[in-house]
Structure 1
Amino acid sequence: MTYNDRIFGILMIVLAVAYGWGTTQFPEPFGGSEAVGPDTFPRLLAIVLGLSSLYMVVRPDPDNAWPWSRTGIELIIAVVVLVLYAMFLQPLGFIISTTLAVGTLCWRMGSRPVKAYIIGAISGVVVYLVFNFALDLALPLGVLSFLEVG
């Protein structure tokens, strides 16, 4: 049955359009428009998601089935974690939100909880440092805003 891929593809196209529209809501960077701004990466993600979803609609897998077992439950948990990540990114900040999201996803994929959350913390700190200092793109610190320099 090829309907599963087509239904999922259509849902993902809707998500890509909504996500792409959300990138237009970012505030204009100080100093005018830049070639690369805070909306560039999310906009590229929306385009890739839209194109890959369109491919699923046009060329569905002929032999697929919804994973309504433990795998399906894990997929639902992953979606819930990512939605919560987006909701708490601003108030909790990038480092804490990323630690919780990456840690939970690693744990759900079989890592020991302590190890999973250590990996999440390292990921959050490293990505924060890369974005803030190497790419000069600010990420929210949230409750850790007392660590801001300057």
Structure 2
Amino acid sequence: MTFNDRIFGVLLIVLAVAYGWGASQFPESFGGSEAVGPATFPYLLAVVLGLSSLYLIVRPDPDNAWPWSRTGIELVIAVVVLLLYTALLQPLGFIISTTLAVGTLCWRMGASLPRAYATGAVAGVVVFLIFNYALGLALPLGLLSFLEVG
């Protein structure tokens, strides 16, 4: 059914436009004369998503079907987990919300609970350290704000 790919392509174009509009709301970089600012990467992602969406609309897969079985339910669960992740990122902080989201997704993919959430915790801490200390980009600490230095 090529109709499914076309519907999905239209939805992704809407997402690409919204993502590009969101990037346009970022503040100008200091001085305003830099070619690469905070919105550059989101703009690139919006363009790639838009082009990929157009490809889905113009050249859909001839034999795809929506997975309305267990796979479909798992996809719905993954979307709900990611929506909750974005909602909890500020109040709980990056490390805790990432631990919960990655742990839950790993568990849904078949990992045991201890291994799933250990993977989530390691991912949350490592990515937090990379962003905060290697890249100098602050991520929210939320409940762990007592760990802030200086």
Separation of aligned partners in 2, 1:60 and 1:79: 23
After TM superposition, list the pairs within 5 Å mapping 1:81-96 onto structure 2.
81-96=81-96
Structure whose alpha-carbon radius of gyration is higher: 2
- Give the aligned residue type for 2:141: L
User: 1:118 matched to which residue of 2?
Assistant: 118
User: 1:101 matched to which residue of 2?
Assistant: 101
Report deviation, 1:36: 4.0
Count of aligned positions: 148
- Give the aligned residue type for 1:108: R
Report deviation, 1:140: 1.1
Go from structure 1 to structure 2 and tell me whether the alpha carbon gap of 1:91 and 1:107 turns closer, same or farther (over 3 Å shift): same
For residues 89-144 of structure 1, the C-alpha deviation after alignment (integer angstroms, 9 at most, x for no partner) is: 11111111111111111111111111101100100110111111111111111111
Separation of aligned partners in 2, 1:93 and 1:56: 36
TM-score (norm 2): 0.89
Separation of aligned partners in 2, 1:109 and 1:75: 11
After TM superposition, list the pairs within 5 Å mapping 1:1-150 onto structure 2.
1-28=1-28, 31-33=30-32, 35-37=36-38, 39-150=39-150
CA-atom RMSD, angstroms? 1.7
Separation of aligned partners in 2, 1:32 and 1:97: 34
TM-score (norm 1): 0.89
Percentage of pairs with the same residue: 76
Q: Where does structure 2 lack aligned partners over 5 or more consecutive residues? A: none
Separation of aligned partners in 2, 1:127 and 1:79: 21
